[in-house]
Protein backbone atom coordinates (compact mmCIF):
# COMPACT_ATOMS: atom_id res chain seq x y z
CA UNK A 1 0.00 0.00 0.00
CA UNK A 2 3.04 2.30 0.26
CA UNK A 3 2.98 2.90 -3.48
CA UNK A 4 -0.75 3.70 -3.72
CA UNK A 5 -1.16 5.21 -7.18
CA UNK A 6 -4.29 7.18 -6.27
CA UNK A 7 -4.58 10.46 -4.36
CA UNK A 8 -5.63 10.41 -0.71
CA UNK A 9 -9.03 11.81 -1.76
CA UNK A 10 -9.58 8.94 -4.22
CA UNK A 11 -8.49 6.44 -1.57
CA UNK A 12 -10.89 7.96 0.98
CA UNK A 13 -13.87 7.88 -1.42
CA UNK A 14 -13.07 4.31 -2.41
CA UNK A 15 -12.70 3.03 1.16
CA UNK A 16 -15.53 5.20 2.56
CA UNK A 17 -17.92 5.77 -0.34
CA UNK A 18 -20.71 8.30 0.23
CA UNK A 19 -24.40 7.96 -0.67
CA UNK A 20 -24.41 4.27 -1.61
CA UNK A 21 -27.88 2.96 -2.45
CA UNK A 22 -28.72 0.56 0.37
CA UNK A 23 -31.96 -1.27 -0.43
CA UNK A 24 -32.78 -1.52 3.30
CA UNK A 25 -32.76 2.26 3.60
CA UNK A 26 -35.99 2.56 1.60
CA UNK A 27 -34.70 5.37 -0.64
CA UNK A 28 -37.47 6.26 -3.12
CA UNK A 29 -35.92 7.81 -6.22
CA UNK A 30 -37.81 10.36 -8.33
CA UNK A 31 -35.56 9.53 -11.29
CA UNK A 32 -33.27 6.59 -12.04
CA UNK A 33 -30.47 6.33 -14.58
CA UNK A 34 -28.54 3.22 -15.49
CA UNK A 35 -25.55 2.91 -17.82
CA UNK A 36 -23.02 0.25 -18.71
CA UNK A 37 -23.35 -3.49 -18.32
CA UNK A 38 -21.73 -6.28 -16.36
CA UNK A 39 -20.59 -7.78 -19.67
CA UNK A 40 -18.39 -4.71 -20.20
CA UNK A 41 -17.09 -4.71 -16.64
CA UNK A 42 -18.70 -1.46 -15.46
CA UNK A 43 -22.33 -0.87 -14.59
CA UNK A 44 -23.86 2.00 -12.68
CA UNK A 45 -27.25 3.03 -11.37
CA UNK A 46 -28.00 6.49 -9.99
CA UNK A 47 -31.20 7.52 -8.21
CA UNK A 48 -32.13 11.13 -7.45
CA UNK A 49 -34.66 12.86 -5.25
CA UNK A 50 -35.92 16.17 -6.60
CA UNK A 51 -37.18 19.28 -4.87
CA UNK A 52 -37.79 22.62 -6.64
CA UNK A 53 -35.92 21.40 -9.74
CA UNK A 54 -32.86 20.70 -7.64
CA UNK A 55 -31.24 17.43 -6.64
CA UNK A 56 -32.08 17.20 -2.97
CA UNK A 57 -30.58 13.73 -2.49
CA UNK A 58 -28.82 11.04 -4.48
CA UNK A 59 -27.92 7.35 -4.19
CA UNK A 60 -25.87 5.09 -6.43
CA UNK A 61 -24.72 1.53 -7.03
CA UNK A 62 -21.80 0.57 -9.22
CA UNK A 63 -19.98 -2.52 -10.33
CA UNK A 64 -16.50 -1.35 -11.19
CA UNK A 65 -12.97 -0.58 -10.10
CA UNK A 66 -11.68 1.72 -7.34
CA UNK A 67 -11.71 4.69 -9.74
CA UNK A 68 -15.34 4.08 -10.71
CA UNK A 69 -16.41 3.83 -7.07
CA UNK A 70 -14.41 6.88 -5.93
CA UNK A 71 -15.52 9.05 -8.85
CA UNK A 72 -19.19 8.20 -8.35
CA UNK A 73 -18.94 8.84 -4.62
CA UNK A 74 -17.36 12.25 -5.29
CA UNK A 75 -19.94 13.07 -7.96
CA UNK A 76 -22.76 12.23 -5.54
CA UNK A 77 -21.39 14.70 -3.01
CA UNK A 78 -20.84 17.42 -5.60
CA UNK A 79 -24.36 17.40 -7.08
CA UNK A 80 -26.43 17.61 -3.89
CA UNK A 81 -28.34 20.88 -4.00
CA UNK A 82 -27.49 21.52 -7.65
CA UNK A 83 -30.09 22.68 -10.15
CA UNK A 84 -30.83 20.34 -13.07
CA UNK A 85 -28.88 22.65 -15.35
CA UNK A 86 -25.77 22.58 -13.13
CA UNK A 87 -26.01 18.81 -12.63
CA UNK A 88 -26.52 18.18 -16.34
CA UNK A 89 -23.22 19.95 -17.00
CA UNK A 90 -21.27 17.75 -14.60
CA UNK A 91 -18.27 16.35 -16.48
CA UNK A 92 -15.65 13.64 -15.89
CA UNK A 93 -13.04 16.43 -15.79
CA UNK A 94 -14.83 18.21 -12.91
CA UNK A 95 -15.12 14.96 -10.96
CA UNK A 96 -11.49 14.01 -11.62
CA UNK A 97 -10.26 17.46 -10.59
CA UNK A 98 -12.23 17.25 -7.33
CA UNK A 99 -10.52 13.90 -6.67
CA UNK A 100 -7.10 15.46 -7.21
CA UNK A 101 -6.63 13.48 -10.42
CA UNK A 102 -6.82 9.87 -11.60
CA UNK A 103 -4.22 7.77 -13.41
CA UNK A 104 -4.64 8.46 -17.13
CA UNK A 105 -5.61 4.88 -17.97
CA UNK A 106 -8.36 5.07 -15.32
CA UNK A 107 -9.94 8.33 -16.55
CA UNK A 108 -12.61 6.43 -18.51
CA UNK A 109 -13.94 5.08 -15.19
CA UNK A 110 -15.15 8.57 -14.25
CA UNK A 111 -17.25 8.79 -17.41
CA UNK A 112 -20.13 6.62 -16.21
CA UNK A 113 -21.11 8.77 -13.22
CA UNK A 114 -22.08 11.89 -15.14
CA UNK A 115 -23.83 9.79 -17.80
CA UNK A 116 -25.91 7.93 -15.19
CA UNK A 117 -26.73 11.24 -13.49
CA UNK A 118 -27.98 12.73 -16.77
CA UNK A 119 -29.99 9.56 -17.42
CA UNK A 120 -31.62 9.95 -13.96
CA UNK A 121 -32.55 13.56 -14.73
CA UNK A 122 -33.90 12.49 -18.15
CA UNK A 123 -35.96 9.79 -16.42
CA UNK A 124 -37.43 12.29 -13.93
CA UNK A 125 -38.34 14.77 -16.68
CA UNK A 126 -39.86 12.02 -18.86
CA UNK A 127 -41.94 10.61 -15.98
CA UNK A 128 -43.32 14.07 -15.24
CA UNK A 129 -43.89 15.05 -18.89
CA UNK A 130 -41.49 17.97 -18.51
CA UNK A 131 -39.35 19.41 -21.31
CA UNK A 132 -35.61 18.80 -21.32
CA UNK A 133 -33.84 22.03 -22.32
CA UNK A 134 -30.49 20.72 -21.07
CA UNK A 135 -29.70 18.05 -23.66
CA UNK A 136 -28.91 20.48 -26.46
CA UNK A 137 -26.68 22.58 -24.21
CA UNK A 138 -24.28 19.71 -23.51
CA UNK A 139 -24.09 18.50 -27.11
CA UNK A 140 -20.76 18.95 -28.89
CA UNK A 141 -20.42 18.95 -32.67
CA UNK A 142 -18.32 16.00 -33.82
CA UNK A 143 -18.80 16.28 -37.61
CA UNK A 144 -18.88 19.90 -38.76
CA UNK A 145 -19.62 18.99 -42.39
CA UNK A 146 -22.85 17.16 -41.46
CA UNK A 147 -23.52 19.00 -38.15
CA UNK A 148 -23.63 15.75 -36.14
CA UNK A 149 -23.27 15.99 -32.36
CA UNK A 150 -22.03 13.53 -29.76
CA UNK A 151 -25.55 13.47 -28.29
CA UNK A 152 -26.99 12.33 -31.63
CA UNK A 153 -24.39 9.57 -31.90
CA UNK A 154 -25.06 8.44 -28.33
CA UNK A 155 -28.83 8.35 -28.91
CA UNK A 156 -28.42 6.21 -32.04
CA UNK A 157 -26.21 3.78 -30.09
CA UNK A 158 -28.39 3.76 -26.96
CA UNK A 159 -31.56 2.99 -28.95
CA UNK A 160 -29.73 0.35 -31.04
CA UNK A 161 -30.50 2.14 -34.30
CA UNK A 162 -26.89 1.52 -35.35
CA UNK A 163 -24.75 -1.49 -34.51
CA UNK A 164 -21.56 -0.66 -36.42
CA UNK A 165 -19.59 2.46 -37.27
CA UNK A 166 -20.43 1.88 -40.93
CA UNK A 167 -24.17 1.92 -40.09
CA UNK A 168 -23.62 5.16 -38.18
CA UNK A 169 -22.00 6.68 -41.26
CA UNK A 170 -24.82 5.46 -43.52
CA UNK A 171 -27.47 6.94 -41.23
CA UNK A 172 -25.79 10.30 -40.57
CA UNK A 173 -23.19 10.86 -43.29
CA UNK A 174 -20.69 11.50 -40.50
CA UNK A 175 -17.07 11.51 -41.68
CA UNK A 176 -17.99 11.11 -45.35
CA UNK A 177 -17.15 14.63 -46.56
CA UNK A 178 -13.74 15.88 -45.36
CA UNK A 179 -13.13 12.87 -43.10
CA UNK A 180 -11.16 14.73 -40.42
CA UNK A 181 -13.65 13.78 -37.68
CA UNK A 182 -13.52 10.06 -38.47
CA UNK A 183 -11.02 8.91 -35.82
CA UNK A 184 -12.65 10.94 -33.05
CA UNK A 185 -16.09 9.68 -34.12
CA UNK A 186 -14.87 6.05 -34.05
CA UNK A 187 -13.54 6.54 -30.52
CA UNK A 188 -16.83 8.10 -29.39
CA UNK A 189 -18.85 5.33 -31.03
CA UNK A 190 -16.79 2.68 -29.18
CA UNK A 191 -17.11 4.60 -25.90
CA UNK A 192 -20.90 4.89 -26.22
CA UNK A 193 -21.20 1.18 -27.04
CA UNK A 194 -19.20 0.45 -23.88
CA UNK A 195 -21.25 2.84 -21.72
CA UNK A 196 -24.55 1.39 -22.91
CA UNK A 197 -23.43 -2.21 -22.60
CA UNK A 198 -23.18 -3.30 -26.22
CA UNK A 199 -19.58 -4.59 -26.22
For residue 143, report the phi and psi dihedrals to the nearest 5 degrees.
-110, 105
Calpha distance 97→37 (Å, rounded)? 26
Crossing angle of helices 182-195 and 111-127, rounded to 10°: 70
- The question of whether 40 is a catalytic residue gets the answer yes
Catalytic residue among 109, 143, 145, 178: 109
For the question of residue 178 being annotated catalytic, the response is: no
Report which secondary-structure segment, H or E, holds 63.
strand 54-63
Q: How far is Cα 159 from Cα 179, in angstroms, rounded to an integer? A: 25
The Cα-based distances of 198 to 101, 107, 148, 154, 180 in angstroms read 28, 20, 21, 12, 26
Residue among 105, 84, 88, 86 at smallest CA distance from 96: 105
**Active-site annotation holder among 40, 65, 178, 181:** 40
- Helical (H) or strand (E) element with 85: helix 84-88
List residues with catalytic annotation.
40, 109
Amino acid sequence: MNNWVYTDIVKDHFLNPRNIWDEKEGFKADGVGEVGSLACGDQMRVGIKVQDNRISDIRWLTYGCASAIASTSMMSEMVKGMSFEEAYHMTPEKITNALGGLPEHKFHCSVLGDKALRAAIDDYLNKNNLPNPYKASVAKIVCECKNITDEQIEELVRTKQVQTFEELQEKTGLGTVCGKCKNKAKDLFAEFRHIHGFM
